[in-house]
Structure formats: C-alpha cells, structure tokens
Chain A
Amino acid sequence: MIRPTSAILLVLAAAAGGALFHVSFEVSALDDRLGTLNRDIKSDREAIHVLKAEWSFLNQPERIEELARRHLDLTPVSGKQLTGAGTLPVRPEQDLPAPQIDNGQNIDRAILLDAGAPKAKPAAPHRRAIVPVVSHTAKTDVASRSLDDVLREIVSDDVHAGKAGAR
C-alpha cells in the first residue's frame, strides 16, 4: 500500500519531469529563433552596407549632374544669386518713396527678388547652364509632370545602368 507522502512525492516528481521537458523544448525553440534572428540581422546589415555603397555609387556628382541636366530646369547657383539680408531693398510702403533699386548696383538683386516678374529668369550665368528656352508653354509642361514621372524616367534610364557597369 502506498503511503500518502510517497504518492505526493511521485506526483511532484512527475510534474517536475514534465516541466523540465517543457522548459527544455522551449529553450531549444528559442535558441533556434535566436539563431534565425542573428542570421537575419547579419544579412540585413550586409544588405544595408551594400545599399549604402550603391547609394554612394548612384550619387556620383557626374551622374547627378547629367540627370539634373536632362530632367530638371535648374542651373548651378551663381554668385549673383546670393545676397545678405542687409543688402535687401526696403519693402515699398504707402508712405515711403519707391525703393532705390535703380542705382545700378542693386539692379540684379532687385530683379531676382521679384520672382513673379516676366523677366525673372536671369540670363544663364554659367556657361554649362541650360539655355533658358523655357517659354510659358514649356513651363506649364514641366509643371504638369509629376515627381513620379520624373522618377520613373530616371529609374528606367538604362543608359546609366549600362554606364555604371559595377553591378
């Protein structure tokens, strides 16, 4: 006849055994998961590394310049387009006389400030600048092209992919 204490001990031992198995399987499963995660982290880091290199590769100034020339209506900033706040002409008010913009030296800046004026675009100051043939029709054309269109053009630009050659 089994005594009650022995019975309790037997049950406890069985429970302990069961718990041990459970924990052990759990640990093993977690270990597998850890291994997978570590591998994933490593491959992701490598991928980030490769992508950084590719990003730098795609950002070669020569390539950007060529893309900008083909797809954008911008020219490099020239010294004439930069000025300090101190040299800005006073804003015209009712009680003030007309701003002193026509004394020769400030005329370029004054024109630049007045961006809405029809002659806002200064003659291309840089010799590699695009000749500003942008008439009013061309302007609306450029405006109607969305960023997506431009991006698609750039991405499908296989001339550059071929020129890249490294991948």
Chain B
Amino acid sequence: MIRRIKMESTKKQAIETARNRLLIGGALMAAAFLVVGARLFDIVVLNENEDLRRAAARDIVRPDIMARADIVDRNGILLATSLPTASLFANPHKVSDPASAATRIVEVLPDLSEEVVAARLSADKGFVWLRRNLTPTQQFEINRLGIPGLDFEEEERRVYPHGRLAGHIIGFTNVDNAGLAGIEQSMDAAISGAKEPLKLSIDIRVQQIVRQELAAQIEKFKAIGGGGIVLDVRTGEVISMVSLPDFDPNAPAQAPDETRFNRITLGVYELGSVFKIFNHAIALETGAASMSKSYDATKPIKISRFRISDYHPENRWLTVPEIFKLSSNIGSAKMALDIGSERQRKYLGHLGLLRRTSIELPEQSMPMIPARWREINTMTISYGHGIAVSPLHLASAVAATVNGGILRPATLIRAKTPETGGVQVFSAETSDKMRRLLRLVVENGTGRNADAPGYLVGGKTGTAEKQVNGSYKRNALISSFVGVFPATDPRFVVYIMIDEPKGIRESFGYATGGWTAAPVVGGVIKRMAPLMGIKPLDETAPEIVRALNVNLTAGPAEGRPNATN
C-alpha cells in the first residue's frame, strides 16, 4: 500500500515536471512566433524599410543620363552636349608584365607613348589613368587584348557640334568637365546637374551669317581680325557674337592663344566716330545743342599740343545734323564743350560705358577712361578717342539710344519675359531724333555702303587709329560701323569692327569704316532680316519719309553770327 502510494507520487511528480518543461518550451515558441509576427507586420504594414527602398530604386532607370546639361540656341539647336565615353585606367599591382602590356596597348592607341605607358603600369600605385575618352572601337580593341588589371570608367565628354561657330560664346571644359571659358565657365553651377538644357539668346543662323560676311571682308582687306555683334534693342539679348580669328572648342588646347581672345567682350578699343552717336544724344538730351544749331568748323581746333581736325574738311559752318552726317570732329568737339565734362561723364556712366557689362561671360574688360576728365578729354571723347570700351559696351549703349532711351543690360541667356526693366537714359524724343540722324548717315552720308533696301538701315561709321606705344599709328586702324534697323522702330543693332584693314583698289585705297565695315553690316541685315521675320518697308511712303525727315539748314535765331557761307 505504502509502496503504491509512493509510486503514485513519483509518477505524479514526473508528469508535473514534464508539464512544466512543456510550458517553458511552449512559451519560448510563442515568443518566437510573436517576434516573427511583429517583423512580418513591420515589413508588410509599416513598409518603412531601407532595403526595400533601395531595391525599388534599382528598378528605375535614371532619367538624366548626363551629369552636365546641354546648351542650345534660341531655337533649340544643340550647341553643346555631353556624350558617353569610356576612359581606360589600370591597377598596376595586377598587371603582371608591364612592358609587353604597354607594347600591346600602344598598338591600339598609337597616340600614347610606349615608355610612358610602361612607366605608369609599373608604378607602385593602385590606380593610374592611361587614356581618357576612348571611342567605342578603341574600347572594344582594348577589351580584346585581354590584359588583366585594365578597366574602364564610364565618363562624359563635352562636344560642340557647331565647332568654332560659337566657340567664344560657349567656351569649353577641361577633361573633368569643369567649365574653363565662356558660358561653360560662367554658368558652370547652373549647367552641372541641371536637367533642362540652357537656352541661349544666340541664333546660330545669324551667327553663321555674321561670321561668313565678316570673314570674307577680313580676307578682302587683309585685316588681322575683326568682330561682330547683333543685339536685340528691345530685350538686350545678344543674337550673334563673332570674334575672328576663332578656335574650335572641341580642341581648345591646340588653338593659338590669340584665337581664344574675344574681341567683342575682352578687347577694349578706342572706337572713333561711332561715339558721336552718344555725343549728339547727350547734347540734344541736355539741351546743350538743338537740331538747328550751327558750329564753326572752318578751321581745326588747336588746344595745347593737340590739334583736332576733320578727315574730310568742309571748312564752313555746320549744323548739328551736318556734323553727324559728315562726321566732323571739330563740330563734335565744340558740341562736347557746350555739354561740359561733368554732364558728359554722367551720361556715359548712365549708358554703362564706364563700368563692366553684365554679360554672362568671364572674358570681360573694364573700359579704359581718363583718370582726370579735363577739357581736352571731353573734346576727344566726343569723337571716340581717349576712351576705350569693348564693342559690346558700344552696341549696348547704341541700343539704349535708339530704342526710346532705355538701357537694358546685354545678356546671352534667352529672356523668359522680354521687355522688362531697364533704366531710362534718354527721353523718347531724343531717341527719335537720333534715329533720324542715323538714317541720314546711311541715306546720304558716310555710311551709304550699309544700306539694305527696304530695311531702313541707320548707322554711323567709325575709323580710329590704333595706339601703339603711346602714339597713334596712321596705318593701323580699327574700322567699324554700327547699324540699326528699321530706323523707324529699331529692332536690332548690328555692330561690325575690322582690325587693321589695308586699303585696296576697289575701295580707292580707303580702309575706313564706311568702306570696310559698313558693307558687312548691310550684307548681314539683308540676309538676317527675312530670317527674323522683319517686314520690308516702302522707303518712299509719305509717313516713313516724314518719320525720318531731318532739316539740315540752320534755324534763324541760332548758330552763326552773320550769314557767311
């Protein structure tokens, strides 16, 4: 009996132990399932998982394959883009036989030197570049060599499909795609990483026209170079900017230094008589002279050791419009004296001629202005000597003179909202008078060669002697012409300058602006106006004749003291 009881209690105890152990096991299992369940809930419901996001991201192709955005012209024509290329590098530690590897690589890439490659391959480094930017064929050939330790890095290479046509504007980049010149440098931050192409204000067709016409004239007059710019007077947009000689931005390293020089923005020149535009505008604006006033241009002005004379002396009294038409230095200098140094300086400042331009190019120069603005400076500046500005400065200021008197900063970027802002420099009335005077010069003054039938070209010639070592050289000229059209309501300024043209028989030995630069302006306008959708006008229509009429005779009350011819 006792033994049975004992037996029963042992058995009971064993069952109790087993049950306890089972319970522990069960609890562990339940806990494990709970963890699994919680994780499942986390993944399925909460879904905030780094791996999942990375996996999802891998499935989407990056929409922008190029790190550097394209540059296009105002009509969307591609001017600069990046092409995918492969660059060859090596891990010298893995190259077993540098000498034979170098021989075989040079067979595929003959422009590399065998010694240099061998030296690089035996260097004690983990990474050496062998050659950047291979063509697909070269890449295939290198791959076929099967040399261990060589590998390719996917890279981009900047290409410029239009080559030298817009080289000075767009600039170029280095092998690591950092901008080194032009828009590529100044807009570097905006271009790298942008998805949308950068739209310039340039029209590549007009660019071609200007370059072609200018190059032909430089050739004809045996000049050393030249420049041309077309500016929209309403928006300040640069439609074309050419500087010759130019370079191919696809291979900037091979280009001689002088070809990389942008005459339009970086060069500052004494531009000569084209400055009379501003002299006349300031005189009319300030009331220093009126259209009917006359000045004595009978003999040259002598002031200290200087002598101001006319290129084609008329030796008589000239009215203000006649001074402009005949480009009289004497008359202009006398008008400048009536304006006064202070006012002249103030207005030139308003026209932006005494500071840097705001163009989006790193290649820019500060104008050269007299340190002390004396009377003699005022007189020479009136006809464009003693002050040196870039052609862009000039074109921009001329645009302000003819567009109703509003200076709008010149830009290379396509304006999103045109015709906004700007500073009123001259009154609309002065601007109107200047348009008449400019038309007069082309109609029957020094600028006849610039005329383009139907487009009412107005303009002014400029011929300046270049300063070499502080003295003026008689046969080294900067001949230029600035044209605006249509004169009744100008749309574009076309400025052409030719550097050191030599007189030829066809021009009767002359190398002045009217013979060299003016025909280029006329040629450019004839070809670009139909492209830009400008309607030709009937020059004999009464309203146009009235709008451009200039009275060349002096008023009764003003001018000469008595009627001597």
Residues of A whose CB lies within 8 Å of any CB of B are: 34, 38, 41-42, 45-46, 49-50, 52-57, 59-62, 65, 76-84, 87, 105, 126, 166
Nearest-neighbour CB distance to chain B for A165, whole angstroms, equals 10
Query: For residue A59, which residue of chain B has the nearest CB?
Result: B77
Query: CB-defined interface of B469-482 with A at 8 Å, one 1/0 digit per residue?
Result: 00000000000000
- B453 / chain A contacts, CB cutoff of 8 Å: 79-80
Distance in angstroms between the alpha carbons of A61 and B527 in the assembled complex: 13
Partner of B536, one of A41, A65, A80, A126: A80
Q: Would A49 and B83 be within 8 Å (CB), given that A56-B77, A79-B536 are in contact?
A: yes
Which B residues lie within 8 Å of A166 (CB)? 159, 250
Across the interface, which residues of B come within 8 angstroms of A105, CB to CB? 538, 540
Separation of A62 and B163 alpha carbons in the complex (Å): 11
A50 proximity list for chain B (CB < 8 A): 83-84
Interface band, chain B: 20 to 34
- Chain A residues within 8 Å of B540, by CB: 105
Taking the closest CB of chain A, its distance from the CB of B230, in whole angstroms, is 15
Q: How far is the CA of A79 from the CA of B83 in the complex (A)?
A: 41
B78 & A61 in contact (Cβ 8 Å cutoff):
no
**Which residues of B are interface residues toward A (Cβ below 8 A)?**
59, 61, 65-66, 77-79, 81-84, 159, 161-163, 165, 204-205, 207-208, 212, 250, 452-455, 526-527, 529-530, 535-536, 538, 540
Would A82 and B163 be within 8 Å (CB), given that A49-B83, A59-B77, A62-B208 are in contact?
Answer: no
B81 to A79, Cβ gap below 8 A? Answer: no
B529: which A residues are within 8 A, CB to CB? 79
CA distance A157 to B159 in the complex (A): 24
Query: What residues of B have a CB within 8 angstroms of the CB of A52 in the complex?
Result: 78, 81
Of B65, B161, B208, B535, the residue contacting A57 (CB under 8 A) is B161
Do B78 and A60 touch across chains, with their CB atoms under 8 A apart? no
What chain B residues lie within 8 Å of A38 (beta carbons)? Answer: 59, 61
What 4 new A-B contacts, CB under 8 Å, besides A52-B78, A57-B162, A80-B536? A49-B66, A55-B78, A105-B538, A126-B526
Asked if residues A77 and B161 are in contact (CB atoms below 8 Å), the reply is no
Measured between beta carbons, the chain A residues less than 8 angstroms from B530 are 76-79, 81-82
Contact A34 B59 (CB under 8 A): yes
Q: Which residue of B lies closest to A54 (CB)?
A: B161
A65, B204: Cα distance in complex, Å: 13
What is the CB-to-nearest-CB distance from B69 to chain A, in angstroms, rounded to a whole number? Answer: 12
If the complex has contacts A49-B81, A53-B83, A82-B536, are A60 and B65 also in contact, measured as CB distance less than 8 A? Answer: no
Question: How far apart are the CA atoms of A7 and B94 in the complex, in Å?
Answer: 61
Give Cα A126 to B212, complex, Å.
Answer: 14
Evaluate contact between A60 and B165: CB separation under 8 angstroms: yes
Contact of A60 among B82, B163, B535 (CB under 8 A): B163
A79 touches B78 (CB 8 A): no
Q: Do B205 and A61 touch (CB < 8 A)? A: yes
Judge whether A42 and B65 touch: CB under 8 Å: yes
A-B contact pairs, 6 of them (CB 8 A): A38-B59, A42-B65, A53-B83, A78-B526, A79-B530, A80-B454
